[in-house]
Amino acid sequence: MGTATAMQQGLLLESTLAGRPWANLEQIVVEGAGPGFTLAAMRTAWMALTGRHDALRMVLCPDGRGGFGQSVLAVHDPDMAEHDFSGLADGDKASAVDDYLTRNRQAGVDPRVQPGWRVRLLRLGPSRATMVWTIHHALIDGTAMAVVLAKLGQLLAGNSLPPVHEPDFAAFSTELTRHDKSAAQGFFAAMYAEGADFVPLATTARRAAGRMAICAGALSRTETAALRQRVKAMGATPLNAVQAVWALVLARCTGQDQAVFGLVDSGRQLMPGLDRTVGCLIASLRFRVQLDGDEWLGQLLARLRQTPLDMRPHAHASLTEIRRWARLLGDSPVFKTIVMHAHASLAARMRALGGPWSDWSVRLIEEGTAAATLAVADDDEMQILIEHDPARIDAEMAAELFAQVMRLLTVMANADPETRVGDLGMLSADEAAEILALGTPDVVLPPVLPCVASRFEAVAAGHPDAPAVIEAGTGRVMSYRDLDRAANELAARLQAAGLRSGDVVAVRLPRGADHVMTLLAILKLGAAFLPLDPDLPEAWLADLRRRAGAAVLVTTEGADLGAELVLAPGAGLPQDMPPARPAPDPGRLA
């Protein structure tokens, strides 16, 4: 018995073992006509495919160590049956097929008991039927589906398969278990050496995923072509554009300068011939994107092109191993959202084969477990889909995420390489206007004088008799007029002593009216003040004064602290006019 891959075990754990039979289940629905669309012809074709590909004969058995192994049966008689819908009215057939697909998914498959797949033929008329191939994701991925369907089409058309066999999936899985992971450990440890804490996008902390909902759409053919041409000119690929878009959406929605998500890799570059192997070779890797609003778009895309290439040799490191190597805490999410990019949808791949696929239609129905999955198929019209768990990301938020993705892709299709990443807009015109309105005051305030002393003098002139300072300890009250005149007098004495704009004055006074007046007097000269606590040791205060360069000290008692000039507040006659002072200067010492 071989060892199941980390991806296989994870897919099984999230679905069958968690009591969610519908999760990680692939439904490939092919509608067609002709002599091949009979149960007998289908059985013959599927028997040939089962004998050729070991993944179709594979059972995932407990290995006795808490994990699962692979057991490949020598032969397997496919689970096949036919249901006749031909007696229904034409208008009822489509809904009957959809109802069947729902029940079929709800029933699930269990790859622990027997090979986890089945085929049902839904008879729609004398010469037309729908084939439903239901298979657990742990046994197959998108590339493998296309490989199997291509061969199925040849067989149903009456052609034989070439004798050349592809690498077995079980042999590949066994090779993975022998793969030296020291390089992967070093790679991921270095990637997360700076720390990778992130705020997940999910709106709740729900653990178990529910049934998924979908937002889907497509870029127009013109927009898709423009995006491809634009990113190619920057030396990047559409995948890199998708990575950048999702990173920007996540970072902006969570208020961070980074984004962390799972990136699905095909896993088919580790051995020659794997592009033809049938099995589940994909891997989901923890992918982090550091963002800088001043970085150019071309620079970001270049980084995103290189990072997956560097990760690719380590594609089959398990998430548990990556967590350990990255030193992630046990309660830190590895990632909450996933990005999947395919060079073409399954339907487009089949259409490209021609032959019977020119008349047959195929669609893929799948359902995952992540809080949100961004899936992109790079068809002539780029297909965009966001699958989300409504219990963790509600419908309104999912719709906003989808709209933001679509807008960012469109913006990138028209952006220059030197466009700042921070200038890539993802909001609609109405959303942008709403946000700008929040920053626009309802009442326009009058211009504010930049000088504090001038603003005080204006208030004193308008309310000369109003109380300006009240001393809590003594009950002493100073009006605005008295405070202003006393400050003018001290300011004149400071100026006469040689104090100039930008000089520093030390103030060693207890809290009270004289303290406030002294600070105001210093501001009237454009100087700066250094408040000193009278309760601190004089040696300490003297050192502070020297380091601040304050040659003048205003105080009422105590030592001079080594100052060249010591003045007392309120020692002269109040003055109505302040001394001349320079214009406000934002570069001046405050």
How many Å apart are CA 350 and CA 152, to the nearest integer? 11
What pLDDT score was predicted for residue 143? Answer: 95
Domain shared by 477 and 532, yes or no: yes
pLDDT band of 557, cuts 50, 70, 90: confident
Residue 413 lies in a domain: yes
In a domain, 427, yes or no: yes
**What is the model's pLDDT at position 449?**
65
Q: Which amino acid is at 423?
A: D
pLDDT > 70 in the chain, percent = 96
Report the CATH number that the domain containing residue 163 is assigned in CATH. 3.30.559.10
Per-residue confidence band for 329, with pLDDT thresholds at 50, 70 and 90: low
In this predicted model, what pLDDT tens digit does every residue of 471-529 receive, in sequence order? 988 889 999 999 999 999 999 999 999 999 999 999 999 989 999 999 999 999 999 99
pLDDT of residue 201: 72
- Amino acid 2: pLDDT: 78
pLDDT-derived band at 204 (thresholds 50, 70, 90) equals: low
Q: For residue 373, what are its two tokens?
A: 């999955």
205 has a pLDDT exceeding 80: no
Are residues 109 and 234 located together in one domain of the fold? no
What CATH number has the domain bearing residue 333? 3.30.559.30
> What was the pLDDT predicted at 62?
86
Structure-model confidence comparison of residues 364 and 561, the more confident one? 364
* H helical segments located in 116-168: 142-156
pLDDT band, very low/low/confident/very high, at 175 (cuts 50, 70, 90): confident
Does a structural domain hold residue 189?
A: no
Residue 293 is assigned to a structural domain of this protein: yes
Residue 227 lies in a domain: yes
Range from 240-249, 282-291, 413-422, 517-526 carrying the lowest mean pLDDT = 282-291
CATH number at residue 476: 3.40.50.980
Q: What is the pLDDT of residue 202?
A: 60
Q: End of a domain among 445, 474, 502?
A: 445
Q: What mean pLDDT is predicted for residues 239-267? A: 92
- In this structure, what token pair is assigned to residue 78? 């496919």
Report yes or no on 575 lying in a domain: no
Phi/psi region, residue 549 (left: phi>0; alpha: psi -120 to 50; beta: rest), is left
| 121: in domain | yes
Q: Are residues 434 and 457 in the same domain?
A: no
* Average pLDDT across the chain, whole number: 90
Tell me which range, 197-201, 260-264, 375-379, is most confidently predicted by mean pLDDT.
375-379
> Containing domain of residue 308, as a range?
194-202+209-445
* Listed residues 405, 421, 445: the one ending a domain: 445
In the structure, what pLDDT confidence band is assigned to residue 199 with cuts at 50, 70 and 90? low
List 530's β-bridge partners, or say none: 506
CA distances from 27 to 79, 153, 194, 389 (A): 15, 17, 42, 19
Please determine, for residue 206, whether its predicted confidence score (pLDDT) is greater than 80: no
pLDDT for the residue 194: 59
* pLDDT for 470: 94
Confidence of residue 79 (pLDDT cuts 50, 70, 90): very high
Instruction: Give the dihedral sign, CA 320/324/327/331.
Output: positive
Instruction: Give SS3 for 376.
Output: strand
Mean pLDDT of 280-286: 89
Whether residue 422 sits in one domain with residue 461:
no
Percent of the residues in the chain that have a pLDDT greater than 90, as a whole number: 63
Residue appearing with tokens 């360069």: 549
Whether the predicted pLDDT of 433 surpasses 80: yes
Q: For 436-457, write each residue's pLDDT tens digit.
A: 999 888 888 777 667 889 989 9
pLDDT, residue 248, reads: 96
pLDDT of residue 443: 83
Residue 65: pLDDT over 60: yes
Tell me, yes or no, whether 280 lies in a domain: yes
Rounded CA gap, 392 and 387, in Å? 12
Number of compact structural domains in the chain:
3
pLDDT band at 122 (very low <50, low <70, confident <90, very high): very high
The pLDDT score that the predictor gives to residue 288 is: 87
Residue 360 and residue 463 in one domain: no
The C-alpha atoms of residue 264 and residue 273 are separated, in whole angstroms, by 20
Q: What is the pLDDT of residue 174?
A: 79
